[in-house]
Each structure stands twice: as C-alpha cells, then as structure tokens.
C-alpha cells in the first residue's frame, strides 16, 4: 500500500512537472503582450520595452521557466502582472470561495446521486425509476450556463426567492450569506448528479445479476441485507472512479457557473487572467486545477483499494 502510494506520488509530481511545461509553453506563445495591456493603447514602444525588461519578459524562455518553477517549489508563486499583487494573496480568498462552492455542490450531488441510483437500480423499470432516469438524462444534456440561466429566471426573476447575483464584498466569506451559494451549487450539481446517478444505477443492475447476489438471496437473507451488504459494496466501486472523473467536470463547470453568477472564485480569476494576458496568474490557476484533478484520482484509487481487496496496489 505504502509502496503504491509513494509510486503514485512520484508519478503525480512527474505529471505536474510535464503539465507545468505544457502550461508554460502554451502561455508564452499566446498572442498579446501584458506590458501592452497594462500600459494601454497610447503607450510608446519605449515604455512597453522598459516594462517588458522590468517584468523579465525579455529573458529567454527556459530561464523564465526555471525562475517560475523554482519559485513555485520554494513556495513563491510570483506576482500577478496585471493586478500587481502577489498571486498567493489573490488566491487565498478566491480559492476558499471556490472550494466552499465545490464542496457544497459535491456533498449535495454525490450522496444523493448514489442513493437515488441505488434505489433506481433495485427498482428497475418502475415508474419512479423511469422518471428519475429521464430527468437525469435531461440534467446531463443541459450545459451549465443554460441551467444557471433557467434557475435565475425561475428562482430569482419570477419567484424572487434568491438573489440573481452571487457577488460579494471583498474580504467577506460566502458563508455569511449562504443563500448566494444555492443557485450556483444547484447548477453545478445538475450534470454530476445525472452522470453519477446513471452510473450507479447501471452498476447496481449489473451486480444484481451476479452469482454471488444469487447466493446471498438463496442463503435466505432478507432483501434489505442482500442489497446493503452484497449489492451496494460491489456496485459502489466503479462509481468511485466515476466520481473522481466527475471532479474534472466540477472544475470545468465551476468556471462557467462563477461567470454566470458573478461569484468571485478561482474560475473567474482564471478567466480574468486570460482576458488581461496575466500569464503568471493564468499559469498558477491552471496548475492548481491540474493538481486537483490528479489528486482526486489518486484518492479514488486508494479508496477503491481499501474497499476491494482484489485490487493489487503494485
């Protein structure tokens, strides 16, 4: 187990290293020039050139990269070129905000999706199963910005139950006004819920056909025990991998949802960085997303290994 863990950690570091090179390569060939953006259209070429020198943009690419990655390893994330503030400082509140939203959505969507999936799988082809399956299909098909807009139209424009924008005063926590989290979280939940629910349902149906479930039934166990002890533990295993993959969806959705609801999180920061050609900020945020993705996959693999002893961790 430890050996596997160490091995995977080494692999993750390698992956992130490769990702960092890719990010760096892509962002440096990006058209546009941050010095130009900062100084505006009226700047003279000399001013731009001076600023470029000052920002270190004229150094060769490898030296820029080494400086950047060396800083990250030492815990210095660098400064945002456009906002002229340390990135670490910027990230602090944005990361927390996004995390609050993501965790909120995650812990609403996943357990409910798994529960509904188990129920639907064990009551296959019942009316409720059909309704739930159809609805999950709809949820999967609708992109986040459509669901988000729909929710705004229904819950805030028509029913006036919730604020349409989730903007916050700088330096405040979203938890002081939890109602602003509801619509973004619901929007985020939609796709993941549908996806995870359908996968769980399919897994449950498959496990129900297995010989060991037949054994359990013919041992004379009550159906409830069969489902709880024999069906669910086996059906949940492939679901865990799906959940890990859905964290990727969640991150993608996060960017869209934050924009739709004007929620000050990591996604909006990322988008802002793209618009202002703020390369260092863009690089760091992308790297964070990549790291989240790899670590959630590792967590899923470890969890699977703990639950299923057949998985050989080597």
Partner 1 sequence: MKKEPHSSTPLLELDRLAVTFYTPQGTVHAVRETSLKIQRGEVLGLVGESGCGKSTIAWAIMGYFQSLVRMEGTIRFKGKPFTKMLPSELRGLRGRRIAMVYQDVVSSLNPTMRVGPQLEEVLRENLNMGKQQARHRVIELFENVNLAEPERVGQRYPHELSGGMQQRVVIAMALACDPELLIMDEPTTGLDVTTEATILDLISELRQRVNAGIIWISHNLGIIARIADRIAVMYAGQIVEQAPVKALFRNPSHPYTVGLLNCVPGSTAITEARTKLATIPGTVYDSKQPTTDTCLFEPRCSIAQDSCKSGTPQFFDAGDHHQSRCSYWSDVRPDIWGKNEPVIEAPEQTKAKPLLTVTRLRHFYGREQHRIPFIGPVGLAPVRAVVDANFNVGPKQTVGIVGESGSGKSTVARNVVGLLSRSGGDIHLQGVLLEPRVEKRSRKHRAELGIIFQNPAAALNPKLHVRHAILRSLWKFPKLRGRVARERAAQLLESVGMDASYLGRLPSELSGGQQQRIALAAALAGDPQLIVADEPVSALDVSVQAQVLNLLREEQRNNDISYIFISHDLGVVRYMADEIIVLYAGHIAESGPANSILKPPSHPYTETLLSAIPVPDPEVTPSRIRLDGPVPSLRQIFKGCFFAGRCPRKIGPVCDGVMPPTVANPNSPSHIIYCHIPLEQLSEIQTTSTGL
Q: Which residues in this chain contact partner 1 in the complex, by CB under 8 A?
A: 3, 6-7, 10, 209-212, 214-222, 225, 229-230, 233-234, 237, 307-310, 314
Q: Which among 127, 136, 122, 135 is positioned nearest to 205, based on CA atoms?
A: 122
Give the nearest distance from C-beta 132 to partner 1 in angstroms: 23
Max distance between CA atoms of the chain, in angstroms, equals 86
Instruction: Say what angle helices 232-260 and 144-151 make with each other, to 10 degrees.
Output: 70
Rounded to whole angstroms, the Cα distance separating 204 from 201 reads 5
- CB 240 to partner 1: min, Å: 12
Least separation, in Å, of the C-beta of 214 and partner 1?
7
Q: Which two tokens stand for residue 192?
A: 């993941």
C-beta closer to partner 1: residue 85 or 214: 214
Cβ count within 10 A of residue 4:
16
285 close to 11: Cβ distance less than 8 angstroms: no
- Note whether 129 and 123 are within 8 A (CB): yes
Task: State both tokens at 153.
Answer: 């139209």
Task: Tell the smallest beta-carbon distance from residue 11 to partner 1 (Å).
Answer: 9
Q: CA separation (Å) from 298 to 5, 7, 17, 301, 305?
A: 9, 11, 17, 5, 11
Closest to partner 1 by CB, 32 vs 233, is 233
Tokens of 151: 């929710």
Question: The tokens of 109 are what?
Answer: 């969507």
Q: How far is the CB of 48 from partner 1 (least distance, A)?
A: 49
Q: Which one, 216 or 242, has the nearer CB to partner 1?
A: 216
Between 208 and 251, CB nearer to partner 1: 208
Q: Which is nearer to partner 1, 165 or 215 (CB)?
A: 215
Nearest to 193 by CA among 149, 153, 133: 133
Distance in Å, CB of 157 to partner 1, minimum: 49
Question: What's the min distance (Å) between Cβ of 137 and partner 1?
Answer: 24
**In contact, 265 and 254? CB cutoff 8 Å:** yes
Closest to partner 1 by CB, 70 or 233:
233
Tell me whether residue 234 or residue 285 sits nearer to partner 1 (CB atom): 234
């Amino acid at each position: 187990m430890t050996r596997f863990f160490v091995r995977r950690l080494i692999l993750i570091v390698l992956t992130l290293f490769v990702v960092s090179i890719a990010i760096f390569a892509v962002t440096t060939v990006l058209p546009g020039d941050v010095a130009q953006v900062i100084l505006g259209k009226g700047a003279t070429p000399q001013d731009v050139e001076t600023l470029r020198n000052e920002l270190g943009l004229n150094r060769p690419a490898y030296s820029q990269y080494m400086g950047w990655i060396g800083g990250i390893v030492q815990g210095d994330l660098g400064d945002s070129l456009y906002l002229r503030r340390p990135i670490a400082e910027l990230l602090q509140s944005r990361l927390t905000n996004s995390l609050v939203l993501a965790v909120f959505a995650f812990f609403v969507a996943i357990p409910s999706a798994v529960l509904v999936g188990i129920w639907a799988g064990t009551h296959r082809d019942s009316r409720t199963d059909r309704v739930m399956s159809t609805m999950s299909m709809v949820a999967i098909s609708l992109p986040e910005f459509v669901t988000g807009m729909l929710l705004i139209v229904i819950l805030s424009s028509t029913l006036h139950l919730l604020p349409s924008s989730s903007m916050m005063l700088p330096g405040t926590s979203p938890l002081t006004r939890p109602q602003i989290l509801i619509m973004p979280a619901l929007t985020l939940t939609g796709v993941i819920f549908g996806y995870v629910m359908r996968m769980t349902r399919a897994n449950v149906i498959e496990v129900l056909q297995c010989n060991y479930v037949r054994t359990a039934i013919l041992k004379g166990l009550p159906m409830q025990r069969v489902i709880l002890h024999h069906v669910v533990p086996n059906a949940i295993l492939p679901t865990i991998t799906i959940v890990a993959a859905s964290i990727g969806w969640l991150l993608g959705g996060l960017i869209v949802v934050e924009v739709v609801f004007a929620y000050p999180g990591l996604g909006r920061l990322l988008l802002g960085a793209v618009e202002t050609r703020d390369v260092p900020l863009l690089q760091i945020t992308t790297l964070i997303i990549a790291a989240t993705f790899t670590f959630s996959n590792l967590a899923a693999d470890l969890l699977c290994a703990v639950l299923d002893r057949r998985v050989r961790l080597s």
